[in-house]
Structure 1
Amino acid sequence: MPVTATVKAVVFDIGNVLIEWQPERFYDAQVGEARRRDMFAALDLHGMNDGVDRGETFIDAVTDFAAANAKYHAEIMMWHDNWADMASPSIPHSVRLLHALRADGVPCFALSNFGIQTFEIAEERYPFLKDFDRRYISGHMGVIKPDAEIYQMLEDDCGTEPKGLLFTDDRIDNIRAADARGWQTHLFDGPAAFAARLVAEGLLTQEQAQ
């Protein structure tokens, strides 16, 4: 099926779109919900991870943060030592949508907040992360969503006008930043609704979107 006149390429976030990313759920299973709540209330673990996503060395960022917060040293080190278990499992229907789009000749890009080393770990576990036409990974770019610069960098490189991009992401702040640039957007809340959007755009048939 040819790409429609309006959508020229589909842009995927990765975390919670193609791979589940729920650190709180991981810690609940490892240390219990009460200690996890205390730790996340006391420490900005997601802020630590933002540094990794901007290009900081993974082991150094986590080790330094753990050293500065001795009360939770063991738990913080799990962020590094058990990262692959936090970033799991994959979301199979989303992966099928990616492959269906590619098989039908629709260009697909990844735009994701991901560290350099963590993305290498993810690629090893999830080979489908290599199946994009182009990948825009924040750790290599030195900037993270929703900063306007990362969207500009994709626009400058991909050869598609903003209005021709359909972007899906699970975070509303990232979606709003894309909206502001004239991208078409879909707030991801599960693969079924995104599949329906792709069918509505004429990018896939109902059968292809299953």
Structure 2
Amino acid sequence: MKKKNQKQANGPKQQTKLPPQIKWEHHKIHEKQAILTLTGSTATYGTADGSTIIASCSEGTDITLWHGRTGKVLGHVDTNQLKNNMATISPNGRFLAAAAFTADVKDSSGSTLHYDRLSLSPEGKILATTHGSTLQWLCMETGKVLDTAEKAHDGDITWISWSPKTIPLGNEQVVVLATASVDKKVRLWAAPSIRSAQQSFNINREYIRSSSGMVE
């Protein structure tokens, strides 16, 4: 007779960790093109119900808007045959900004800018953009450049983010933008006033604080 060589494991069997639950998923949402950016915002403007809106962007000309809870497609935005490289939504869900290949924006040397990062201010009035180590603020209403920092970092800017609320600086409240770079520094910038679009602006705008300390 053959002896049974199977042994029962001692103690209770350890439960394996379950993967996170998938609420919804879609495949090939931009045909065969890879998704370049995915951004979300809570829609509170007008009759919005406070649900999250998600925008997906690819190298094509279309941007798709999704309902964050249900995954339902809310609509498509076509950038008129301009290839997108980034899209972002304003904090209240009212505005959608896209960075596409266009020769309309140039730096002070006349070179065409290809925006890498976009971020809308909390009130939706200022659009912050980056190209390499260059940082720009644009008026959302007119599209005019409010201010430019051509050497904002000692290397390419990798991320930008607005403070959700104004911060006291001197005798006024300012909206602050944070930038991070491959130079391993984080810097804080006071956003220019919308009125500065009608005035001469400082090309070498200084940051108000960096990860290495205050700037005199």
TM-score in terms of structure 1 length? 0.29
Q: Name whichever structure is richer in strand by fraction.
A: 2
Q: Is the radius of gyration larger for structure 1 or structure 2? A: 2
Bigger relative contact order (CA 8 A; separation at least 6): 1
Q: Name whichever structure is richer in helix by fraction.
A: 1
TM-score in terms of structure 2 length? 0.28
